[in-house]
A and B are shown apart, each in its own frame.
Chain A
């Protein structure tokens, strides 16, 4: 079924159509969220929040624009919120004088087998740079499309991408240890 038909179905309250949208976007959204957030649990939470927000705000979606970009924009915002929460929690823990455990990528009680997560190398990039890099490398997005997702100009998106690629190249040449894990 066509994506626009699915959206129209969702607007009529058809949950089955929305389920198809969720299934279609789960994998790419998870990949982007994991690349930006660096851990699976946060990425799953961000994706859950994403789809709830998509459903609630579907009425305000402009059909002349790309639905995928709209979804990614919401996801990017959710990821930024998550990073902000994480930073605030880390600061709180630091104030309490405890050992910062929040930066640990995986929940110890998590039953999933370990999967390949973004290396430390990627964590050296800013969230905007990671998003731009992920959209460019995984989705084949152009600077203009990245700008649409990040809600910035083409030039700004180009700069984020350039800086990210430059950093990666430099670290690759230095033989960064994380590459062994990557």
Chain B
């Protein structure tokens, strides 16, 4: 009973629907004491209009049909399902193409950035040495580049 009072207090205190929904789900719906303070399904049902009471006075279908037949949008509706699926497919195709263009563009732009590696840098530059001197004298020079590597080793030695 004291718990019910506490729940009632917190329900009134915090007017947030999620909080109130939580209190109802956790406590009120499972508490016979709290449920006694709510109208039962039978009591509510006796106050409401039931399906059996809702006999429609006029023939609704005739009116609906005449409204639809007179409506030029009817023919459009027939192909709407097909149209919507086609449009959906085209939508996906356009979105995918746009994404591809966007990603490609981004990668290209990134490649051309001053800080990044330029596309020409990807092509190995021709390495040339006009001459190598050691102690003012022409030196024996060996240039070595390991296979598959950008590293170039220049080994120079004197002729002594």
Central interface residue in B41, B61, B64, by most chain A CB within 10 Å: B64
Question: Would you call A156 and B21 a contact (CB within 8 A)?
Answer: yes
Is the pair B57, A40 in contact by a Cβ cutoff of 8 Å?
yes
Residue contact A182 to B39, C-beta cutoff 8 Å: no
- Report A-chain residues with C-beta under 8 Å of the C-beta of B43: 168-169, 172
Interface residue count for B (Cβ, 8 Å)? 44
Known: A31-B49, A134-B48, A159-B17. A11 touches B81 (CB 8 A): yes
Inside 8 A of B37's CB, which chain A residues have their CB? 166, 169
A133 surroundings in chain B (CB, below 8 A): 44, 48
Q: Which 7 A-B pairs have the closest CB atoms?
A: A155-B21, A59-B80, A30-B54, A168-B39, A165-B38, A13-B78, A137-B44
**Extra inter-chain contacts (10) besides given A34-B54, A55-B64, A169-B37, CB under 8 Å:** A13-B77, A23-B61, A27-B51, A43-B54, A48-B64, A59-B83, A59-B84, A153-B21, A154-B21, A156-B17
25 CB < 8 A contacts A-B: A11-B77, A26-B61, A30-B49, A30-B54, A30-B56, A31-B48, A47-B56, A48-B67, A52-B64, A52-B71, A55-B74, A59-B77, A118-B47, A118-B49, A122-B47, A133-B48, A134-B48, A138-B48, A153-B21, A155-B22, A158-B25, A166-B39, A168-B44, A169-B43, A182-B46
**B interface, CB within 8 angstroms of A:** 17-18, 20-22, 24-25, 28, 37-39, 41, 43-58, 60-61, 63-65, 67-68, 71, 73-74, 77-78, 80-81, 83-84
